[in-house]
A and B are shown apart, each in its own frame.
Chain A
């Protein structure tokens, strides 16, 4: 993409020196590009974060004004709210199992694609497609497929003589079922891994082969090190996405329970069965918009923010690697 015109290198635009009136014009130009985004940062990031911290020390519902209660929300959160602990444990469970399962599947399918000679493009498209399925639609499809009585999955297991579990209807199997759903829709991660795999210089593999490295050694000492920045990125963003895990858990619970009372809305079935799919964000949402305990919901939000921010810091420390630096 280098211009072939033989002209002397043009001077880079630099911000003019201090005191130069052009400096101010340049600043105004930059500001004109950024103004909407700066407004967005102020109104949709800074303000609500500060408001959430303030509200977390108060008690109110939609109709009353906030009353200062000091640390009471936090004391309640850490000492009495068993649902907060259940939901935090569920979210942690998903972080521990869903994130590695997705990364493993993405890596395996991406490596498979690099070895397929015929129809690689078609396979890539097929492997990728589930990631496109709208989460609500995909979740409903999975609840149907894994329906213990009539779904094809247990029908198939029955043919093999296996008595299939209750999947989304069983407190023990509901979260593993959600992991299967996440593994199915792994295409976005797979495409990222595939691009990284194709970037690994071929001669490295050839040199390793000449040195007598077997397939596992080539993977362990060539592929993995080359992939490590991408793997780190995938792990961190995976954890952050899982911290906000909401839609699939809400929809699976709603559809699997099947008997939602009208009027309660979606949130009346959150956690079905037996709070096993109640993730932390679902608990937060239910607290705020079903029980209208807005002050306490903000205390839950502040704790979520602290955790998510700590994870984001890991990413920011690798800022240059993944942002493409300048």
Chain B
């Protein structure tokens, strides 16, 4: 009994530590800018209009649209190109599949900064720097992390189902479409959510390609510049922070199960 209480009080204490930053951010978002600079934690008066102000004083809505377009297209393109590649790596036998998988892992592990300059020059030659296309278009050519994660999911589907379809005369593309896709739906959903969050949170990519072109900024990039655009009004900075965090957390609660399973699979085998 003492153990039970001790363990649960520790858990509650840790939970408070993990949630406290969210609570402070949320409370500050409702304060006046003067109070945000004091050490009083509870808003003296509530100012939900802060959330309106960040959308009117700045083109936050445009940044939101840019972010949704970037994250949405990147996710769609990633799935179109990576699901077949993952299928070939998980369910087809061919010489060199291990070698290709090793290359995929290396690509996943490669620090993006290593190839930044050559890729930037490539996109500059194509006239696409200043836009988000250099971050979206490569997703049509497969994403290493997406391929890796999808492959891990597909490995958990028993071959017997595929073989049954093959005996019925299905070609590999039909096996993928008719048998594997329906069974892999949770895995595909988890991978899609990962990709969407990655793009939503991405700072390095938008900074690299769009920092000179403010109309193409994403929310994360705009948020990093918010203090400079808006002086030191912490209450508004925190309101903007809430706006950037909220959708991610809402999506997480809607798709928690698939998501946690996905995180687990990024670790070791399923």
A184 touches B (CB below 8 Å):
yes
Looking at A71-79, A96-104, A114-122, the stretch in contact with chain B turns out to be A114-122
Contacts of B176 in A (CB 8 A): 33
Distance A289 CA – B118 CA, assembled complex (angstroms): 12
Distance A315 CA – B106 CA, assembled complex (angstroms): 10
Looking at A130-138, A168-176, A200-208, A217-225, the stretch in contact with chain B turns out to be A130-138
Task: Scan B174-211; emit 1 where CB is below 8 A from any A CB, else 0.
Answer: 00100000000000000000000100110110011001
User: Would A145 and B24 count as touching, CB distance under 8 A?
Assistant: yes
Given A30-B92, A52-B115, A141-B241, also A130-B18 (CB < 8 A): yes
Given A134-B201, A152-B39, also A144-B244 (CB < 8 A): no
A81 touches B (CB below 8 Å):
no
- Interface residue count on the B side (C-beta < 8 Å): 111
Query: Total number of A-B contacts with CB less than 8 angstroms?
Result: 319
* B269 to chain A: closest residue by CB: A324
A29 touches B (CB below 8 Å):
yes
User: Would B268 and A321 count as touching, CB distance under 8 A?
Assistant: yes
* A288 to chain B: closest residue by CB: B117
Give chain B nearest CB distance to A294 CB in angstroms: 6
Q: Which residue in B19, B113, B223 is a CB contact (below 8 Å) of A136?
A: B223
User: Would B269 and A322 count as touching, CB distance under 8 A?
Assistant: yes
User: Would A127 and B117 count as touching, CB distance under 8 A?
Assistant: no
Distance A45 CA – B7 CA, assembled complex (angstroms): 48
Distance A133 CA – B267 CA, assembled complex (angstroms): 20
Give chain A nearest CB distance to B232 CB in angstroms: 6
Contacts of B63 in A (CB 8 A): none
Contacts of A40 in B (CB 8 A): 81, 138, 141-143
Contacts of B2 in A (CB 8 A): none
B76 touches A (CB below 8 Å):
no
Given A30-B94, A144-B234, also A134-B245 (CB < 8 A): yes
Give chain B nearest CB distance to A25 CB in angstroms: 10
- Interface residue count on the A side (C-beta < 8 Å): 114
- In chain B, positions 101-115 with a C-beta closer than 8 Å to chain A are 101-107, 109-115
User: Would A281 and B113 count as touching, CB distance under 8 A?
Assistant: yes
Contacts of A37 in B (CB 8 A): 81-82, 85, 100, 104, 141-142, 147
Contacts of B122 in A (CB 8 A): 47-48
Binding site for B on A (CB under 8 A): 1-3, 10-15, 26-27, 29-30, 32-34, 36-41, 43-45, 47-49, 51-52, 55, 62, 109, 112-113, 115-119, 123-130, 132-138, 140-142, 144-145, 150-152, 155, 184, 188, 191-192, 195-196, 229-230, 233-234, 237, 240, 243-244, 246-247, 250-251, 254-255, 258, 260, 262, 265-266, 281, 284-285, 288-289, 294, 297-298, 301-302, 304-305, 308-309, 311-312, 315-316, 319, 321-326
Since A37-B82, A49-B114, A116-B11 are in contact, a sample of 14 more A-B pairs with Cβ atoms closer than 8 Å, ordered by chain A residue number, is A13-B93, A34-B88, A40-B138, A45-B106, A140-B223, A141-B24, A155-B41, A243-B111, A250-B207, A254-B228, A258-B232, A301-B114, A305-B114, A324-B270
